Structure 1
Amino acid sequence: MLIAIIGIVMLIIAFSLSKSNYQVYRYATGIKVAGVALILIGALASSVVQVDAGEVGVQKLFGKVSDRTLESGLNVVNPLVEVTTFNIKTQNYTMSATHEQGDNQGDDAIRVLSSDGLEVVIDLTVLYKVMPAQSPNILREIGTDYKDIIVRPITRTKIRDNAVYYDAVSLYSTKREEFQSRIFKDIEANFKTRGLLLEQLLIRNLNLPASVKQTIESKINAEQEAQKMTFVLQKEKQEAERKRVEAQGIADYQQILSTGLSDKQLQYESIKAQQAIATSPNSKVIIMGAGRGNMPLLISDK
């Protein structure tokens, strides 16, 4: 468009020179030709717009926004149209207490009050993107600075609104996933009405007051000790049960020996023992005596 404007200026100058003397008039014709050429080149260049990959173009003519979006690549448009591009790739916005990590300089973490009145500091990252079909409405109703107008304030407000339903300990431990899911649904619905798609909400860090942290750590340590003691007691009970069964088996065995063995059985067991000794290759056995009261005599050759 700038080239066309230069061409128009050159035409105006040329027409002004044509009214001067003859020597100046000779240059006016060349200036006119050059001006017309610049106007044509400028009009042609302004009629072709390149939209980069991952972007869409929105046309605006004399303040009126067109609902037709331009896809990535080369597009032929009205030379007088102003094209505004929107990034439709996934974008992130981080609010963090660490100075180097947040989108804004300094401590930009979200400070909320829990149901028990304690201050909880939350570091958060929002992943979102512009819905291509809604980019004309965004330009018309919000503008290109949707990150600071929509993403940041709505996210911070919805987190504060939902944090009051949880106490600090629950936010830090058992209810963290539930809290994240709840604020995701709330923010997602709000973004959608404004042409933005919420992809993911990441709670990067959640800090509690030092006194609350100490209480939680003490509680966790106590629970771990209780679980350890339960395991030890269970093991001791199992060992006691094993010893009881073993003792009962020994008692039953002794009872059988004291009441169930007769003289015949004892004599039979003695004969079996003598046979085992007799078959040993390390000794020779001579059995002397007979009768019930005589004991065997064992003689070895060693």
Structure 2
Amino acid sequence: MERLPKIALPVMFIAVLIIVLIFKSSVTIGPGEGGVLFEQFGEGIVTDKTYSEGLHIIAPWNSMIIRIVRQQSISDEMNVLSVNGLEVKVNGTIWYEPEYDNLGKLIKTKGEDYEQELLDPAVNAAARSVVGRYTPEQLYSSKRDVIEQEILEEVTLLLKDQYLTVKRVLVEDVKLPVTIKNAIEGKLKQEQESLEYEFRLVTAKKEAEKVTIEAQGKADANKILSASLTDKILQDKGIEATIKLSESPNSKVIVIGSGDSGLPLILGNQ
């Protein structure tokens, strides 16, 4: 067996070392992610540059902190108090994203777990502040969209200049104690039944007014017609009707004298 040249071992060692260095120095950032460089022998987190998607070569003694920079969401259940001190459970979802260009500043000031350090406390504080303005009835029924908007505004104010942006707040469910919930549902049911009853009364009243107006119209029309029918007009109408009847081929007309009203008497018929 031939011995390897003396130069072979150092070359192999250097080759292996280069491969290890390349492996340690190459960093791949995936879709929707951003990277922040941590300089081991420098100032630590680099705050003026965010690395984009793709392959990057860095010094082997440095490291890359990779975080999602696209819009993402978290859901949580919070225990808050209403305006009258009643404990309410609010289930909500928050859509947020870190500021891409300031990802290094965000991580440097709040750490890699900035959701727990920054976002969660801000959302909880905003939810307590907003929900504390409303009664259980308002929270349960018609104020959901208003509450969402107000929480969003509160969170935005709390996170101002914190390099984290909240895009949307969704209140998915408001849970009240069973006794309070049943009381509210009973009250809402009574109000609905009352509204339906009032609607039926209004409808019946309008229908009665319609019938009264129609009857009054007919009475006025008959009154006007009666006032316009004189004896002379009635006689003329009677004569016209008599002539038409006498012209009928199916009857034989014999006129004898006149009736009490001055109209001819018609006798004979086939």
> What SS class does the counterpart of residue 269 from structure 1 fall into?
helix
Answer with 86-95 or 134-143: which moved more. Answer: 134-143
Q: 1:161 to 1:28 in 2, by over 3 A?
A: farther
Q: CA deviation at 1:128?
A: 0.9
Post-superposition Cα deviations, 1:262-300, rounded to whole Å, max 9, x if no partner, equal: 32222112122224434556x314041244646422433
Name 2:11's counterpart in structure 1. Answer: 33
The partner residue of 1:48 within 14, 26, 37 is 26
Q: Which has the higher strand share?
A: 2
Structure 1 SS opposite 2:174 = strand
1:117 is paired with a residue whose SS is coil
* Residues 285, 80 of structure 1: alpha-carbon distance in 2 compared, 3 angstrom cutoff: farther
Aligned to 2:176: 208
Distance 1:72 1:291, change over 3 A: same
- Matched with 2:74 is 93
Give percent identity, aligned residues only.
Answer: 28
User: Which string of whole-angstrom CA distances, capped at 9 and with x for unpartnered residues, describes residues 145-189 of structure 1?
Assistant: 222222223212321132222221122223332222111111123
Q: Paired residue for 2:161, among 190, 193, 197?
A: 193
Structure 2 unmatched runs, 5+: none
Q: Distance in 2 between matches of 1:47 and 1:257?
A: 109
Q: TM-score, normalised by structure 1?
A: 0.77
Contact 2:258 2:265 in 1 (8 A): no
Does residue 65 (structure 1) correspond to residue 32 (structure 2)? The answer is: no
Cross-structure match for 1:273: 241
1:55 Cα deviation (Å)? 0.9
The residue matched to 1:69 in structure 2 has which SS? coil
Query: TM-score under structure 2 normalisation?
Result: 0.85
How many residues are paired up? 263
**Quick one: structure 1 residues 140 and 247, their matched pair in 2 at CA, closer, same or farther if it must change by over 3 Å?**
closer
Q: Which has the higher contact order (CA 8 A, sep 6+)?
A: 2
Structure 1's 252 and 194: CA in aligned 2 closer, same or farther, altered over 3 A? Answer: closer
Q: Deviations over 1:236-282 (max 9, x none)?
A: 2222223323333443355446554332222112122224434556x
1:29: Cα distance to partner?
4.3
| Secondary structure of 2:166 counterpart | strand
Structure 1: gaps (5+ residues) = 1-24, 96-108
